[in-house]
Structure 1
């Protein structure tokens, strides 16, 4: 069975460096950091007092204020991302096409922050103090279902959770869905809002978070010798994926082509990568093979690059294993140096950066790369964006539990 070509016709982003795709992309290219002191709760007594928050966002732009009060921050982000992606694509949902459009908004923790808030309500106010909306708000699939409900989308509505690989996993599942002919178009992305006292305390105890509290904007520093952990972020990104035939019929602008992807498991450890990044390397190789892309054809990797001591080395080793000598010719960009780690939204913003690099011919920098780690010796586009033709870009997403998801994008011709 022949597979339809799939194209990206709309993009949206809601991140610590921008409330829309245009602003986010401009700030990524300009190397702007979205890391600052936590304002979502009082972090005074915590060992980690910094995060990458989405600031200035008003959910009432995308839903009635009454509905905004009843729903969660993760839902607010998801609904906004879906609406902005549809608007950018110029795709209107109608009675005629509603059953042929899908939603795949993936997340790592869903409404984890709202479970914390509801627990406080229970302890402080008793059972009658708990909102009746807690469960429908915190169920992970709420982020996709709320988009479906508000936009009138009646095709497949899916949510997956693969920790930090969730956003990229959505793209791989979208490939399968559209290749099977179950939809003509889909909203695809990842979202997260989990900055809360329990999450910060737990990840700090685990030694996963940067403690560079005195210099928030320099805390996330992938591949730098002095990196000491990731910075918790929030937000996400979404795109419209369509079959080429569907997009061309309606005269849509095309950003890039989605050509393939792959997922693998490490079967090693719940939080640590295996030595050499074997599972990640296998995911990259499989993604290229299934896309019929040779390693030498790849120009850019939008890296997972968490800024943790173990993961950045493992990803570097995995890239070398997957690409051989060509690894040294790749331009590798790390968006987490600017937006922090969006967990379930991380793969989506990584894919957004890959798509926009192809479309614009600009690769965002990896900021704060001041003293290279000898074990991380590839080209990470340090500190300044680079103008270059980009034909093929990979997006890497590697999650807790050993889940790896790699997506391949190509310039549309």
Structure 2
């Protein structure tokens, strides 16, 4: 059961501001401001207006933690406060699972510049490095920080499967609760990788949008004019709780993680087969595990990266897995508003799916003005749609051929 939500996202810090941005259809993509990106092909990103002091972090924490960890800690504190579980769970029955695609990219990028004297020295001088340099190198340090916050002495770990990390980590955490290993899991994914090395990597394979003259509409999932994704950053952390544990303490239950699955295509690091078979297989398996029929779906939160290849692949996967129901199910991509935050985006999308169940509103696909005729499903263009959402599917596709799907259902189903 999901009993707490915490979010740091472009366009707003906190779950309330995040949901307001999504349902209003506002975009948070803009020209990169965190460094001088003028030399790069793509200079667009969705940045978080994040003030660590205003978010409650101390000067010591700010110095010790990379931006990725700062995001995760702030979101975790919000999720724990929302759930009310802190202090009432057994530490040995409490765990943490955190996902990330890139880890502490910004701090590693910065510290390498310091120890190499801006790249002038091949033999770096470690005397000038931060005392926290090892923590930046090891993503497990982020999981450890979250474990100390919640006093988690149960299972603690990291999942890093590229852009599907945010679904995969939540599915793994839910399994730990379901099999009785833990009563409470703090789980989600975080990435803050808007840095020169990341932008250069995606420039090299031309995956990001070059629409620099109009950053607010740069991300256009399922649109005929799409030409790549806009990089993003952020975090969503959820409290997952065993149903009986949540019920005994009178917790508010947002939704249940009813089923999930992941597949790989064993085909290409960046390529996708046109028929969408691997993603379709993940969707079908997740639905089967959740005991949900395709016709039961009220909404699909799409991967919708805004690349030519992915959006076609995804459309075919829905048709292959859902049959005629693919045409009747509302689908939308929130990457149109908050960009693609790599490993973190799937947790942000799951959080949005949970909030769609809670509020009965489907976020729109912003910037979808000229639908691609080959992407001919109901992709909820421009404007949010009020609709009861008892069963929601969220999917992800990542470099390396990873394909993941997760099913969320209204709490009434669990009670039944």
Q: Which runs of 4+ in 1 moved over 4 A?
A: none
Report what 2:76 is aligned to.
82
Moved more, 149-158 or 264-273: 149-158
CA shift for structure 1 position 60: 6.3
Report what 2:100 is aligned to.
107
Structure 2 unpaired stretches of 5+? 119-124
Q: TM-score, normalised by structure 2?
A: 0.95
Secondary structure, in 3 states, of the residue corresponding to 2:206?
coil
1:106-255 alignment runs, 5 A limit: 106-124=99-117, 126-255=125-254
Q: 1:23 aligns with which of 3, 17, 27?
A: 17
Q: TM-score, normalised by structure 1?
A: 0.96
* In structure 2, C-alpha distance between the alignment counterparts of 1:346 and 1:276, rounded to whole Å: 24
Report what 2:329 is aligned to.
330
1:307-386 alignment runs, 5 A limit: 307-386=306-385
Is this contact kept in 2: 1:60–1:68, CA < 8 A? no
Is this contact kept in 2: 1:223–1:312, CA < 8 A? yes
Is this contact kept in 1: 2:361–2:384, CA < 8 A? yes
Is this contact kept in 2: 1:62–1:79, CA < 8 A? no
Moved more, 24-33 or 44-53: 44-53
CA separation of 1:306/1:183 partners in 2, compared to 1, >3 Å: closer, same or farther? same
Deviation per CA, 1:342-362, whole angstroms, max 9, x where unpaired? 101011011111111111100
Report what 1:411 is aligned to.
410
CA shift for structure 1 position 67: 2.1
CA shift for structure 1 position 147: 0.6
Deviation per CA, 1:209-265, whole angstroms, max 9, x where unpaired? 001101001000100000000001000111111111001111011111111111111
Report what 2:260 is aligned to.
261
* In structure 1, C-alpha distance between the alignment counterparts of 2:19 and 2:400, rounded to whole Å: 30
CA shift for structure 1 position 128: 1.4
* In structure 1, C-alpha distance between the alignment counterparts of 2:31 and 2:139, rounded to whole Å: 28
Is this contact kept in 2: 1:17–1:28, CA < 8 A? no
Secondary structure, in 3 states, of the residue corresponding to 1:159?
strand
CA shift for structure 1 position 56: 3.3
Secondary structure, in 3 states, of the residue corresponding to 2:352?
helix
CA shift for structure 1 position 82: 1.0
Report what 1:295 is aligned to.
294
Q: CA RMSD in A?
A: 1.3
Structure 1 unpaired stretches of 5+? 1-6
CA shift for structure 1 position 85: 0.5
Is this contact kept in 1: 2:108–2:136, CA < 8 A? no
